[in-house]
Amino acid sequence: MAKLDGIKEIKIADDVFAALAHPMRRQILLSIHHRGTAKAGDIAARFDCTWPTTSRHLATLVESGLLSAKKQGRERIYSANSDLLSDLLHRWAAHFE
Amino acid sequence: MAKLDGIKEIKIADDVFAALAHPMRRQILLSIHHRGTAKAGDIAARFDCTWPTTSRHLATLVESGLLSAKKQGRERIYSANSDLLSDLLHRWAAHFE
DNA sequence: ATATTATTTAGCTATCTTGCTAATTATTTT
DNA sequence: AAAATAATTAGCAAGATAGCTAAATAATAT
């Protein structure tokens, strides 16, 4: 569990909880975590909305730190930063115990 | 850790994560949890916005299930449903481990 | 070089959220 | 009964979010 100072913690909480507030983003995140990695197209194919909409949700998740993206040829490979999320959730849960 | 069926779980996650997405609501929640209970006025006094704004955040938190309210005379006493939150956060963290 | 494929960015509209002030409800005090 | 107190609800404007289609970028294949 990484040590973080207060300000950074607040900023992360802000971005992460905002990212988690959308159901499709939560599903995307779970999906990528379980698959290990996924191309944008894999995700776009799995959801019932247009590719640009998916693309923006992916960007939001990357912005929040919950996903990482790397370009590979013309594809973009996303992977979940699961530790960041599970650490944050545990830290917040701990506040309420 | 309460047993919940899938649909209910999704509904709760939706409401709870949306409620947590606002920094003031997170602070309100922490504040009430630590104090045990608080009157609306206690909370309103602690934050740098108008009472109606606070009141709406409180209503959002109640709606999400994260707070409970009971009327006592002309005051309204709020308390945090900490278990609901910590259970949900642990369950979500577990998905990413 | 051209066409195709993978994906994002731009631009638009509709809806949701947040904050405010003013008005209202409910309860207690005088 | 009137005034005061605690809190919410109504109504509005500003800003954010989410979805879409169309256009752009970047890389590969022909």
Q: How far apart are CA B73 and CA A89, in angstroms?
A: 37
CB-count exposure of residue A39 (10 Å: 0-12, 13-18, 19+)? middle
Domain ranges of chain A: 6-94
Distance between CA A23 and CA B93 in Å, rounded?
16
The distance in angstroms from the start CA to the end CA of chain B is 18
**Predicted structure pTM score:** 0.92
Domain A6-94 has CATH 1.10.10.10: yes
**pLDDT(A2) > 60:** no
Q: How far is CA A50 from CA A46, B2, B16, B55, B58, in A?
A: 11, 37, 27, 38, 36
Does the pLDDT at position A4 exceed 80?
no
How sure is the predictor about A1, in pLDDT bands with cuts at 50, 70 and 90?
low
The C-alpha atoms of residue A38 and residue A59 are separated, in whole angstroms, by 14
pLDDT of residue B9: 78
Token reading at B94: 């577990």
Q: Average pLDDT in the A6-24 region?
A: 91
CB contact at 8 A, B49 and B7: no
DSSP assignments along A28-89, one per residue: HHHHHHHHSEEEHHHHHHHSSS-HHHHHHHHHHHHHHTSEEEEEETTEEEEEE-HHHHHHHH
Q: What is the rounded average pLDDT of the residues A14-43? A: 98
pLDDT for residue B11 = 83
Q: In chain B, which among 9-48 make CB contacts under 8 A with chain A?
A: 10, 13-14, 17-18, 20-21, 23, 26, 30, 33
A6: left (phi over 0), alpha (psi -120 to 50) or beta: alpha
Interatomic distance B83 CA / D4 C1' (Å)? 39
- A41-77 pLDDT tens trace: 999 999 999 999 999 999 999 999 999 999 999 999 9
Name the pLDDT band for A83 (thresholds 50, 70, 90): very high
Q: Count of A–B CB contacts within 8 Å? A: 60
pLDDT in tens, B17-70: 999 999 999 999 999 999 999 999 999 999 999 999 999 999 999 999 999 999
